[in-house]
Chains A and B, each alone.
Chain A
């Protein structure tokens, strides 16, 4: 490492996680954070989530958002609704749309191509389609992953969100989300996207049935791929939200989130940015995350349907996000989806 720190092995990471006190872990993570980022600034983005459909054949056990096709509150967004949401995003100074939806077999591929084109027509960057959606498209539309990616890119897809990674270990995935893309598939989509010049983020949802070692192996898979491609812009982790679903597991506490965040920052030495998750952690813990390795406060989202369906409801507008950053002792800087800073 160019910062004079030794690259952590999995064993190192496990030892640090198990033995260091909270403060020391945070101080070390801050060292890595400041190697990649300006020590005094924290970035954020203005964007909107658009969940084009909640119909999903996946029905993961932890998900409170998805619906069956014949459910009373199942939906697919019409073009008019999309336009309305896009216009509102522009009005709020948004730079991009986070476009994700359920795995809905009734939608033709043209729906997605047209959606991407529509958003692009309004001059917004499209950050869309997580690996599970891409894999599902390839299967449903009988095309290769490369073809799907190439066509979406040609329509204007700018980058891919890392959602749906959960824990990259198939025995856990079989239990939590049996129909979702497998570990190899998730990594394959990411690798192919990176090769096509499409940047992506990576995520982890932890605190359900996995062990600490399995979390660290998850980090290793991401770090190894990043060594090959350099295509990940940021890593985002959040604890599983145990409400309104059928998994009986406990709620992960703030201290564990902060420790995991710090060890992720230390281990993922080749990923430039780590986000704080105010949407799952709330304002207080999100502020503290900035002292445990996070350099980015995420984005405004404008609407959030997935986490809020699980019972956690926080919304912040741009001014509130800036306040949150500023009152934590940092200078807020607006960025675009690829982490280019948009203000002096």
Chain B
């Protein structure tokens, strides 16, 4: 494969032609070269063309609610402004009835996003109970929940296999696995920002097992902290490889790091240009992922609407009561509702489509 550059300038037509021919499996060097070109708008245009081919003029959103069932976490990741130690002031673990009441209070939601921390008091019984009770009370509500990190935590605590835990939760009514905890797979970076978290390899393995159990999932990437562009590309390529094997991922969610209230406060965080390029390169690298999400709580609403023109096709949703992003300085989801979200999508030039957890 020759260079993507002609006379030192990125050859966008060549890239376009290759994509037309279905040769979308760009290599690491090629993706790096594309990312490093200063041509924000040509990259965006290419990503937009790909997203139009895949998802047309649609922008997906969900009426959803986040339930962070506990904020107690043993991992102590440096980028997190949400977690507390057991016994620390403000630490909590919600009871099953509390979770039910929270959702009841919001009325009609299509999806609940259920994630928490690695709380030493957690049990598989509790999680199954939460999921089973929710499913009984709200049979039409999709339950997307638990990250690979939580699955690993429970498996270890209960001395069960990942597969056993996943199948137990599926049996209780879990519809999809959440994509969090992926951060950056590269071990040297991971070791610095989340030394106690499961490795990238285990994260990928848990998703592989979930897919083989018939549980679909999302994947995230936390970027804009101490990693380099090569680590982002490496992350994307690992996801692309697994997706080639399983086709179990639904959407990819690039999450810009927000430094406020974290142990990495001195990090500058991402800039708008960097965020849009990352969204666009994700669309390009992950051609086998159906959806790319612009998670507006972390990106900011303005930038998220622009990201819809840079490869993203999903605005996530109303995300009522989101806590993790808000604690790190993200936009307040308390101000969002369906009418507003629909108007924003239309105004940005797209057709709003209310989705379920599995994009039906």
Contact = CB atoms under 8 A, between A and B. Distances in A.
Q: A and B: real partners?
A: yes
Contacts of A282: 300, 302
Nearest to A281: B302
B271 interface: yes
A323 B320 CA distance: 34
Interface in B257-295: 268, 271-276
Contact of B45 (A24, A254, A255, A323): A24
Main secondary structure of the interface of B (DSSP, over half): helix
Given A23-B309, A250-B343, A329-B273, A284 B41 contact: no
A285 B309 contact: no
B302 A253 contact: yes
A75 B146 CA distance: 57
B348 interface: yes
- Interface centre among A250, A256, A288, by most B CB within 10 Å? A288
A289 to B, nearest CB: 10
Interface in A124-170: none
A253 B347 contact: yes
B42 interface: yes
Nearest to A40: B38
Contact of B42 (A22, A27, A250, A288): A27
A291 B302 contact: no
A327 B272 CA distance: 9
B273 A327 contact: yes
Contact of A256 (B38, B40, B300, B347): B347
Nearest to B304: A254
Range, interface on chain A: 20 to 34
Interface in B37-80: 38, 40-42, 44-45, 48
Contacts of B308: 255
Contact of B272 (A26, A27, A30, A283): A283
A140 to B, nearest CB: 41
Nearest to B39: A27
Interface string A281-323: 1111101100100000000000000000000000000000001
B347 A23 contact: no
B305 A254 contact: yes
Contacts of A343: none
A258 B309 CA distance: 12
B347 A288 contact: no
Contacts of A253: 302, 305, 344, 347-348
Contact of A328 (B41, B42, B273): B273
Contact of A255 (B273, B343, B348): B348
B315 to A, nearest CB: 12
A303 to B, nearest CB: 24
A257 to B, nearest CB: 9
Contacts of A22: 44, 48, 306, 309, 349
B271 A287 contact: yes
A27 B41 contact: yes
Nearest to B277: A329
B273 A26 contact: no
A121 interface: no
A22 B309 CA distance: 7
A332 B274 CA distance: 18
B242 interface: no
B41 A285 contact: no
B303 interface: yes
B37 to A, nearest CB: 11
B306 A26 contact: no
Most chain A CB atoms below 10 A, which of B38, B40, B44, B305: B40
B305 A255 contact: yes
A22 B302 CA distance: 15
A329 B44 contact: no
A290 to B, nearest CB: 8
Given A21-B48, A23-B44, A256-B347, A329 B272 contact: no
A78 B343 CA distance: 47
A202 B38 CA distance: 30
A316 to B, nearest CB: 14
A238 to B, nearest CB: 14
Given A23-B44, A23-B45, A255-B309, A285 B302 contact: yes
Contacts of B344: 253
A109 B122 CA distance: 75
Interface in A21-49: 21-24, 26-27, 30
A291 B306 CA distance: 13
Interface string B306-326: 101100000000000000000
B267 to A, nearest CB: 13
Contacts of B349: 22, 255
Most chain A CB neighbours (cut-off 10 Å) among B40, B272, B274: B272
A323 B45 CA distance: 26
Given A255-B349, A281-B302, 5 more contacts: A23-B41, A26-B41, A284-B271, A284-B275, A288-B276
Which 5 residue pairs spanning A and B have beta carbons closest together?
Answer: A23-B45, A284-B272, A254-B302, A287-B272, A327-B271
17 contacts: A21-B48, A21-B309, A22-B44, A22-B306, A23-B44, A23-B45, A23-B309, A253-B348, A254-B302, A254-B303, A254-B306, A255-B349, A256-B347, A284-B272, A287-B273, A291-B40, A328-B273
